[in-house]
């Protein structure tokens, strides 16, 4: 996701927002796998002869929360990107196509 949303001329704050969004997308994917039964625990730690499993109490609720956070971040990314000055050498500039 980071590579897909990043542009060369992004500001530091914009890159930070994109990185946060990519991290949330990774967490959301793992929660999706938990909800679908693909994985049974969040993480499993082996401490000597014992194995400790860390569970997530309400992965469906957490996925909804993360989805809201992701929408907010994506909205802010597009807002900040719209405020960037247009690069005259940008071949993807829609104004150049007409």
Whether 56 maps to a domain, the answer reads: yes
The pLDDT score that the predictor gives to residue 95 is 47
Whether 23 maps to a domain, the answer reads: yes
* Two tokens, residue 3: 């590579």
* Two tokens, residue 8: 């060369």
More confident residue, 13 or 98: 13
Q: How many structural domains comprise the chain?
A: 1
Whether 40 maps to a domain, the answer reads: yes
Model pTM score: 0.70
Structural domain containing residue 66: 2-83
Whether 89 maps to a domain, the answer reads: no
What pLDDT, in 10s, does the model give residues 38-93? 877 777 788 888 888 877 778 889 999 999 999 999 999 999 998 888 766 665 55
* Two tokens, residue 19: 């990185």
* Two tokens, residue 48: 């000597």
Residue-wise burial string across 55-69, b where 16 or more C-beta atoms lie within 10 A, e elsewhere: ebeebeebbeebeee
Whether 79 maps to a domain, the answer reads: yes
What pLDDT, in 10s, does the model give residues 17-32? 999 999 999 999 988 9
Q: How far apart are CA 22 and CA 30, in angstroms?
A: 13
Whether 11 maps to a domain, the answer reads: yes
**Above 90 in pLDDT, residue 9?**
no
Q: Are 2 and 10 in contact (CB under 8 A)?
A: no
């Amino acid at each position: 996701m980071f590579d897909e949303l990043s542009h060369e001329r992004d500001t530091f704050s914009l890159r930070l927002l994109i990185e946060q969004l990519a991290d949330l997308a990774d967490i959301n994917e793992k929660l999706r796998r938990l909800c679908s039964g693909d994985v049974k625990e969040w993480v499993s730690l082996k401490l000597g002869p014992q194995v400790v499993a860390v569970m997530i109490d309400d992965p469906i609720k957490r996925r909804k929360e993360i989805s809201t956070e992701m929408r907010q971040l994506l909205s802010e990314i597009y807002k900040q990107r719209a405020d960037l000055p247009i690069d005259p050498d940008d071949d993807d500039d829609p104004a150049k196509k007409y």
